[in-house]
A and B are shown apart, each in its own frame.
Chain A
Amino acid sequence: QKEVEQNSGPLSVPEGAIASLNCTYSDRGSQSFFWYRQYSGKSPELIMFIYSNGDKEDGRFTAQLNKASQYVSLLIRDSQPSDSATYLCAADWGGNMLTFGGGTRLMVKP
């Protein structure tokens, strides 16, 4: 069974702080990982993806992948209230199919 696990939260951070969102997965065969952001009542939108071990940076966002430990994380620097949303981690085991975690709700307080 291929599973992706996330802490449901809410994760509360003050404005300007670093938010750290974590995700673990069950199967070492996963090829790539995706972080989606979903505002309440809206559909998910892709933030970034990562498929190599290490860090990948895009603006205020950094994705980190550790395949040996089977975890992937998303760091949000200088968190803003507009970052408050649910963050979904997803893994691709091939075949263009994604398996999603349950999502972590992030709250950034002014």
Chain B
Amino acid sequence: DVKVTQSSRYLVKRTGEKVFLECVQDMDHENMFWYRQDPGLGLRLIYFSYDVKMKEKGDIPEGYSVSREKKERFSLILESASTNQTSMYLCASSPTGDTEAFFGQGTRLTVV
């Protein structure tokens, strides 16, 4: 089974902190994604990566950055957390040429 693992299920951070959300997949997938999910808004794409050290902005990249130093790991960075970044964050991966995305269990981030 494909496994996408996010480092934390729940996280509480203070405004202004730098926050790292980690995601690891074990299926050698080329593509990795970070989404945030808010009630009524569905999943919105923040960033994605189709190869090591490659990244592309999604629909809502402002306030976020990403890092992909190894194929299996994709990190989402909140440079200076703000309360409007309180959300559920979902990581996903997929192989090239196949759009089926496999999701991690999600990280519920609260910024206070």
By a beta-carbon cutoff of 8 Å, the part of chain A in contact with chain B is 4, 6, 8, 32, 34, 42-46, 49, 88, 90, 92, 96-103
Contacts of A6 in B (CB 8 A): 42
Chain B contact residues (Cβ within 8 angstroms of A): what range?
20 to 34
What residue in chain B is nearest A33 (Cβ atoms)? B99
**Chain A contact surface mostly:** strand
Complex: A43 Cα to B48 Cα, angstroms: 18
Instruction: Jot down 7 A-B pairs with beta carbons below 8 A, ordered by A.
Output: A34-B99, A44-B43, A46-B100, A49-B99, A88-B43, A96-B94, A97-B99
Q: Given A88-B43, A101-B42, do A43 and B96 touch, yes or no (CB 8 Å)?
A: no
The chain B residue with its CB closest to the CB of A103 is: B42
Which of B11-19, B67-75, B103-111 forms contacts with chain A?
B103-111
Q: Which of A32, A42, A90, A102 contacts B105 (CB 8 A)?
A: A42
